[in-house]
Chains A and B, each alone.
Chain A
Amino acid sequence: MQLGHVAVALSIASFAPELSGGEVTAFSGESIAVAFAAHWLPNLDGIPIMMGLVRKAFHCTWTHSLLFAVVIGLLLLLLKPAWAGIAFVAILLHYLADMPSSVGLPLLMPLTKKRITLNLWADTGYFGWESTKGTYLQAWTWILEGGAFLLLFIRAYQEAVWPFI
């Protein structure tokens, strides 16, 4: 999933009151910032790859495991409890959005390196035009990314934010 991550992150922000015990408002700047940051956090593993510090095979490994989500959630629980629920769900939904890809995710690392995948679309790499083109030539990309934007449309309507003001 590529563009769909934007819709998923914004949809998570729409549930901020439920995920933060009422401390963060839906679609507020704070909820959007936390949801976006946490939702993209697993993909920061691309930076050391692009810098040549680690091998390409490092992508979608440690940062795409349940352990990573739990560690980030617990850290935030200590530092900023209101953000912990939003961030934890944002990271889990990042995994869910990546799981249809054929490359799969090693969710149970370090217990096992076995990759779990729904195999709905073929992986097209993680960066560049070839990756984008290949992604949007496949059926399930449109279904799931379109579905994410449909959910965002409904949530924006229910919460009466733009373009429903």
Chain B
Amino acid sequence: MLKRTPVIAVFIAALIAIVVVYFLELPERPFSAGQKVLLYIISYCVGLGISLLFDPKAKETKNKYLKINFYED
């Protein structure tokens, strides 16, 4: 994994979390700080995946496993 990949994910995760809060938070039931932290952690997983799309190491891994047939006896 490139060094920049998890750093880019930090910003993508923030964007995802902001979009979720903006569109889905109910005024009568705002997210607590802990819930927002949990939301950010989950968003970070998605963000990491998006930033891995631009990481050559992830592509190498995919290509490596594409060569293996796990279902041969």
Contact of A141 among B29, B35, B49 (CB under 8 A): B49
Find out whether the CB atom of B65 lies under 8 angstroms from the CB atom of A56: no
User: Whole-angstrom distance between the alpha carbons of A123 and B55 in the complex?
Assistant: 19
A143 touches B49 (CB 8 A): yes
What is the number of residues of chain B that contact chain A, defined by CB distance less than 8 Å?
Answer: 34
Residues of chain A from 138 to 161 with CB closer than 8 A to chain B in the complex: 138-147, 149-150, 153-154, 157-158, 160
Q: Hey, which chain B residues are within 8 Å of A121, CB to CB?
A: 62
Is B20's beta carbon under 8 Å from chain A? yes
Also in contact, A149 and B42, with CB within 8 A (given A55-B73, A56-B73, A138-B58): yes
Nearest residue in B to A128 (C-beta to C-beta)?
Answer: B70
Among B43, B49, B68, the most chain A Cβ lie within 10 Å of the Cβ of: B49
Residue of B42, B45, B71 near A56 (CB, 8 A) is B71
* A57 x B42 contact (CB < 8 A): no
* Smallest CB separation, A144 vs chain B (Å): 8
In contact, B70 and A157 (Cβ under 8 angstroms): no
Tell me if A75 is interfacial: C-beta within 8 Å of chain B.
no
Taking the closest CB of chain A, its distance from the CB of B46, in whole angstroms, is 4
Shortest C-beta distance, B13 to chain A (Å), equals 9
A side interface size, CB within 8 A:
34
Most chain A CB inside 10 Å of its own CB: which residue of B43, B48, B68, B70: B70
Residue of B nearest to A127 (CB): B70
Given A102-B66, A123-B65, A160-B29, are A153 and B39 also a contact pair (CB < 8 Å)? yes
Distance, CA A147 to CA B48, complexed state (A): 11
**Cβ–Cβ contact A142 & B35, under 8 A:** no
What 1/0 flags go to A102-144 for Cβ under 8 Å of B? Answer: 1100000000000000000111111000010010011111111
27 A–B contacts from the bound complex (CB under 8 Å): A102-B65, A102-B66, A103-B71, A122-B63, A123-B65, A124-B70, A134-B61, A137-B57, A137-B61, A138-B62, A139-B55, A139-B58, A140-B53, A143-B53, A146-B42, A146-B44, A146-B47, A146-B48, A147-B46, A149-B42, A149-B45, A150-B43, A153-B20, A157-B29, A158-B24, A163-B34, A163-B38
Task: Tell me the B residues contacting A by CB distance below 8 Å.
Answer: 16, 20, 24, 29, 31, 34-35, 38-39, 42-50, 52-53, 55, 57-58, 61-66, 68, 70-73
